[in-house]
Amino acid sequence: MIKTEHLTKKFGDLTALNDISCTINDGCIYGLVGSNGAGKSTLLRLIAGVYKPEKGNVTVDGAPVYENPKVKERITFVADELFFLPGASMNRMADLYAAVYKRFDRKRYKELTSLFGLDPKKPINTFSKGMKRQAATILALSARSDYILFDETFDGLDPVMRNFVKKIVCEDILDRNATAVITSHSLRELEDTCDQLALLHKGGLILQSDVQNLKTGLFKVQVAFREEYDKTKFEGMNILQFIKHGMVANIIIRGDQEKTVARLKAMNPAVLDVLPLTLEEVFTYEMEALGYKYSLES
Amino acid sequence: MKNRKLFDFGLYREGIKQLKTPGIVFFVIFMIAAVAVPLTEVIDRGYSIEIVTGMDMHPVLLGLCIVAFILTLYLFGFLNKRNTADFYHAMPYTRECVFLSFYASVLTWLFIIAAATSLVSFGLHSIFSGHFTVVFSSWLMYTLNCLAAAFLAAACTAIACAITGTTINGIIVAVLIMFLPRFIIAMITYEITLLLPMMSYTHIGFLLEGKYNLLTYLLFESLGIFNWFNDILADPAAFIYTIVLSLAYAAAACCLFKKRKSETAGQSSPNRIMQAVYRITVTMMICIIVLCLILDVSTFESDEVFLIIFGYFIAVFVYFLYELITTKKWKNLLKAVPALGIVAVLNGLIYCGMLGIYQAHLNFTPTADEITSVSLQLEEMPRFSLENYYKYQSSDIKLTDERVKQIVAKNLKENVDALKATRSKNASDTYYKYSNARNYESCSIVDDDFASAQYIRACVKIRTKSGAYYRKVVFPSADFKIIIDSLISNPEFQKRALTLPEPVKNTITFGYSNEKHTDKAAYEVFKAIQDELASVDADVWLSQLKSYHSPAHISYRTVINNNEIYISVPILPNLTPKSYEKFFEYTYNTGRSDRERILSLLKSEDYKKYNVTAEIVLNQPNGTFVQVRIDLNDETIPFLLDNLVDERIGPNDSYIYIEIRYGAHDIYIEGADHFVGYFKLSNLTYEDIINKIIVDNMMDAKEY
């Protein structure tokens, strides 16, 4: 289990992360979402033991990560800017990984290389951007670490390959009960992959929750009554947003969907539709509820 | 629990692999040089045997420092890019482990390049033993010195990599770390020795002497700034100091590497403080020069005030320029202003230090009672003559005579007072009021040379209870003669004077010939001299030592403390008669063809195409001999031909030494015909020579 407590990281005068506390349970795929400069990469580097926090700490199963090889042995970090030795082929990089990560699995490496159809003897610098990301993913998965950190690794892949890579990663995580932390500036990239999601904004952790809870805990209702009404009619419901156009109101409600719908039906509405929310909408409304005016794609 | 492993073999091997390409390139370059040098020498100078030291054998090895610099920058270059820094810092190793494993791989490559190419060089020189005589100890010392210097370069570069975030800044800071401390020391010591001419720049004091830091020394040496190369081959202290320094620097680099933040990658410096340190350091390089000018002005009446102001203007300009270039932000110039105060304080402190050192050395005028002993020093290694070898050997002989101590104390005091009396730019001239003072190194200790000079300037090592100091003192020649007499009568010196060092194989030459004799018989002549000399009276030997003048002498080369020294030993019939006989037996047996050729040339007009020199040694009935250089021409040759006989020369025989070289007078043509021969002169007296040959042709005559 990865745990951060009051984690703060500064770069000169800039506070990149401020008082971040979160818990990433074993066996889950944890998504970190946020706009550019939100602090996603910084958090990942802190978890990987690359950066030393100014305040707070990062622990894995209770042990600090920074300068702790025993813990770092269990973590593989795939940075947003990939690193390959100059002129190296995948096989050469595999040698490097094998020298560094004692659990590096050559058999798995060969399987994945052939699965992705990459030539392991070809210099990586001749690969396309997407192929390089595939190569980095293969190497990271072959390291057989307990924790794999992907920093916007899938963002450069075409949709087909992205889904394929995600599938491989998910299978690998499930098979080994490993843990993955994936960052992206786009929530759409993460919503179908992650078990847990966290939103970072300007160095702060705004929200973290189980994806299933997020999706079911918030829903949109379109309702109309024959008589005049306003928001007070729905007193007792946890309303995040209430917009009324004419007789029709669009309401975002948090709570038990079945019970809420039953209550609404009892009010004898002229129209009652329950509309599904995308994860992106859920995030947007949750953030607005917290007082943030924020567009996830911005 | 934390794993504190400091070294990882897998990572070390990875470092070796990553350096493979540059390592192999340098290996090939060095190997080509190691092979090319002996082969070229063999082709170019096939006829002669040379003593080769490490430097002669593998000069390119000096470039190992540059290799160290490049390999370190290459391997630790990962610190300068965010993605590479992230990768390496995310690896499951402590930072010390990454540093030490990678650093070890750099050192391994350096060792492989140095060891393999040096061994090949040594092997090839040994294979061509007909052309080279290899001095093993010198080769070993040279290789070790180059390695030590390279290790230091690697450590300095590693420090620079740890405290900078860009390659260009890394290079600048590495160069500063390597050379700035020595530059400052060199500037200060140079200035002080300039102001105090009685100080010896080559004996300024242990760590202050440039030769101890082999890295800076090798650079300065290759630029021709120093000329102490032989010294460092002789002195393991330089090697030890450099290795210790490189270890200290490597430890510092390791600590800084551990402290380094990964996010420094891509930034000119890790933080504002370090940026200020670099800026101040660069500025101080100029300030040091200005401080030397200030010391000039404050100790002597000097008119360099304008230069000082101009110098500080340049220093401030560089201070801000550095900030602007490295940070590319105008607003940072304002932020840099307060740190100028640090520059000012540093200037004040360094100036006080310089003044203190200056005053301390100026006021070093011990009394005779305070001096425990005195030794005469050579400032440079001797190259030629037995006498210079003796001077070299005398440098650790302690003269403890009261008179000697008094003379040294008195003259040093007078020298210092003379210097103090004149506070002007002409101080050096004042010190050398005795401007015609002859240098001790250029005068003979066994002749009456002193009489011809009013003053002698010599470097003396003065030992006191508080330590040893070297001073160049100007002595009246009469005073100096007393010191020399004390030296010559010193039992240890006398013992050394009668002990000839062994020659390096195949380097013995006879007379003025350049031909090196390789046979056993030639060595036997040397052994005869060595044995006979051991039982000669030292006083008589030294008083009669006239090494330059006797045509009957052998020369050879020897190696002392890894320095090649040429020694020329006269063979005197009255002191070493057996050797004298053996010498002529040998030259008679081996010089037959030369003598025949000389006679045939002299009998024909052909000799005019040659440069002919001749020297006659006439033995007197009383055991002394007269030596005369003569000019051979149409008038003198017939007379000489009538009187010389091609027979073995005996102890009481007079003889003529004739040397003939092809070519115009005084022009030496390498490889051209060259003949030397000793001929017995029959029935000739001094008067005959005077009356019949030398009247107008005598060039020089001396009686011994």
A129 touches chain B (CB under 8 A): no
Write out chain B residues lying below 8 Å of A100, CB-based: 10-11, 14, 91-93
Residue B2 binned pLDDT confidence (cut-offs 50, 70, 90): very low
Nearest to B84 among A69, A83, A95 (CB): A83
Q: H or E stretch including B533? A: helix B520-534
pLDDT for A8? 95
Instruction: Work out how many CB contacts closer than 8 A connect A with B.
Output: 73
pLDDT for B621? 63
The residue among B19, B94, B96, B263 with the most chain A CBs within 10 A of its CB, best to mutate, is: B263
In angstroms, the separation between the Cα of residue A102 and the nearest Cα of chain B is 10
Nearest in space to B542 (alpha carbons), one of B390, B678, B703? B390
In angstroms, the separation between the Cα of residue A235 and the nearest Cα of chain B is 52
pLDDT for A182? 94
B87 touches chain A (CB under 8 A): yes
What is the average pLDDT across B501-529? Answer: 81
Q: Kindly identify which residue of chain B lies nearest to residue A9, measuring between CA atoms.
A: B263
**How far is it, in rounded angstroms, from Cα A151 to Cα A45?**
9
Cβ–Cβ below 8 Å for B1 and A70: yes
pLDDT for B108? 98
Nearest to B87 among A49, A83, A101 (CB): A83
Write out chain A residues lying below 8 Å of B14, CB-based: 96, 99-100
- Give the tens place of pLDDT for each residue, B171-207: 989 999 999 888 888 888 888 888 888 888 777 776 7
Task: Give me the interface pTM, i.e. the ipTM.
Answer: 0.87
Residue A295 binned pLDDT confidence (cut-offs 50, 70, 90): low
Q: Kindly identify which residue of chain B lies nearest to residue A101, measuring between CA atoms.
A: B92
Contact A3, A63 (CB under 8 A): no
- High-pLDDT (> 70) share of chain B, %: 85
Q: How high is the mean pLDDT of chain A?
A: 89
Which CATH number is correct for A217-289, 1.10.3210, 3.30.70, 3.30.160, 3.40.1000? 3.30.70
The residue among A42, A58, A75, A83 with the most chain B CBs within 10 A of its CB, best to mutate, is: A83
Nearest to B14 among A67, A72, A99 (CB): A99
More confidently predicted of B451 and B391:
B391
pLDDT for B671? 53
Write out chain B residues lying below 8 Å of A71, CB-based: 92
What sign has the CA pseudo-torsion A191, A194, A196, A201?
negative
More confidently predicted of B222 and B64:
B64
Cβ–Cβ below 8 Å for B93 and A48: no
pLDDT for B65? 95
Residue B434, both tokens:
């005795």
More confidently predicted of A131 and A280:
A131
Write out chain B residues lying below 8 Å of A79, CB-based: 82-83, 86-87, 90
Residue B144 binned pLDDT confidence (cut-offs 50, 70, 90): very high
Lowest mean pLDDT among B1-5, B526-530, B553-557, B586-590: B1-5
What is the average pLDDT across B399-415? Answer: 94
Q: Kindly identify which residue of chain A lies nearest to residue B85, measuring between CA atoms.
A: A50
Residue B667 binned pLDDT confidence (cut-offs 50, 70, 90): low
Q: Which residues contact B506 (CB under 8 A, 6 or more apart)?
A: B49, B133, B516, B517, B518
More confidently predicted of A166 and B520:
A166
Residue B702 binned pLDDT confidence (cut-offs 50, 70, 90): low
Contact B83, A79 (CB under 8 A): yes
End-to-end CA distance of chain B: 88
pLDDT higher than threshold 60 for residue B646 = yes
More confidently predicted of B696 and B14:
B14
Please state the domain extents for chain A. 2-202, 217-289
Residue A298 binned pLDDT confidence (cut-offs 50, 70, 90): very low
pLDDT for A296? 46
User: Ramachandran region of residue B421, left (φ > 0), alpha (ψ -120 to 50) or beta?
Assistant: alpha
Residues 46-65 of A with CB under 8 A from B: 48-52
**Angle subtended at Cα B74 by Cα B73 and Cα B77, rounded to the nearest 5 degrees:** 75
What sign has the CA pseudo-torsion B156, B344, B322, B326?
positive
A160: how many CB neighbours lie within 10 A of its CB?
8
Residue B548 binned pLDDT confidence (cut-offs 50, 70, 90): very low
What is the average pLDDT across A44-55? Answer: 94
What is the average pLDDT across B327-340? Answer: 87
Cβ–Cβ below 8 Å for B2 and A73: no
pLDDT for B697? 47
Residue A297 binned pLDDT confidence (cut-offs 50, 70, 90): very low
Nearest in space to B161 (alpha carbons), one of B153, B151, B169? B169
**How far is it, in rounded angstroms, from Cα B53 to Cα B57?**
6
Q: How high is the mean pLDDT of chain B?
A: 83
What is the average pLDDT across B498-514? Answer: 82
Nearest in space to A1 (alpha carbons), one of A24, A29, A31? A24
pLDDT for B699? 44
- Give the tens place of pLDDT for each residue, A212-227: 887 778 889 999 998 8
The residue among B74, B78, B83, B86 with the most chain A CBs within 10 A of its CB, best to mutate, is: B86
Cβ–Cβ below 8 Å for A50 and B90: yes
pLDDT for A158? 87
Highest mean pLDDT among B81-95, B325-339, B647-661: B81-95
A75 touches chain B (CB under 8 A): yes
- Environment class of B121 (CB within 10 Å of its CB; exposed 0-12, middle 13-18, buried 19+): buried
Cβ–Cβ below 8 Å for A79 and B93: no
Nearest to B92 among A11, A83, A100 (CB): A100
Looking at this protein, which amino acid is placed at residue B507?
A: T
What is the average pLDDT across B638-658? Answer: 83
- High-pLDDT (> 90) share of chain B, %: 35
In angstroms, the separation between the Cα of residue B159 and the nearest Cα of chain A is 20
Q: Which residues contact B100 (CB under 8 A, 6 or more apart)?
A: B6, B7, B254
Cβ–Cβ below 8 Å for A73 and B263: no
Lowest mean pLDDT among B102-111, B193-202, B287-296, B375-384: B375-384
Cβ–Cβ below 8 Å for B83 and A79: yes
Q: Please state, in angstroms and as integers, the Cα–Cα distance from residue A7 to each residue in A2, A15, A66, A287, following that order.
A: 13, 11, 13, 22
Nearest in space to B541 (alpha carbons), one of B390, B324, B379, B384? B390
pLDDT for B514? 64
- High-pLDDT (> 90) share of chain A, %: 59
Q: Kindly identify which residue of chain A lies nearest to residue B263, measuring between CA atoms.
A: A51
Buried b / exposed e over B229-268, threshold 16 CB at 10 Å, is bbbbbbbeebbebbbebbeebbebbbebbeebbbbbbebb
- Give the tens place of pLDDT for each residue, B71-105: 999 999 999 998 899 999 999 999 999 999 999 99
**How far is it, in rounded angstroms, from Cα A267 to Cα A259?**
13
**How far is it, in rounded angstroms, from Cα B120 to Cα A2?**
57
Highest mean pLDDT among B198-207, B342-351, B466-475: B342-351
What is the average pLDDT across B549-563? Answer: 78
What is B50-96 written as a DSSP string?
EEE-HHHH-GGGGGHHHHHHHHHHHHGGGGGSHHHHHHHHHSSS-HH
- Give the tens place of pLDDT for each residue, A76-113: 999 989 999 989 999 999 999 999 999 999 999 999 99
**How far is it, in rounded angstroms, from Cα B293 to Cα B351?**
10
Query: Is residue A195 helix, strand or coil?
Result: coil
Lowest mean pLDDT among A134-143, B193-202, B244-253, B409-418: B193-202
Looking at this protein, which amino acid is placed at residue B475?
A: F
pLDDT higher than threshold 50 for residue B66 = yes
More confidently predicted of B695 and B239:
B239
Cβ–Cβ below 8 Å for A99 and B18: no
**How far is it, in rounded angstroms, from Cα A44 to Cα A58?**
10
CATH code of the domain occupying A2-202: 3.40.50.300
Q: What are phi and psi of B93, to 5 degrees?
A: -140, 155
Q: Kindly identify which residue of chain B lies nearest to residue A98, measuring between CA atoms.
A: B10
**How far is it, in rounded angstroms, from Cα B153 to Cα B149?**
6
Domain A217-289 in the same topology as domain A2-202: no
Nearest in space to B400 (alpha carbons), one of B369, B378, B379, B377? B369
**Angle subtended at Cα B230 by Cα B228 and Cα B233, rounded to the nearest 5 degrees:** 115
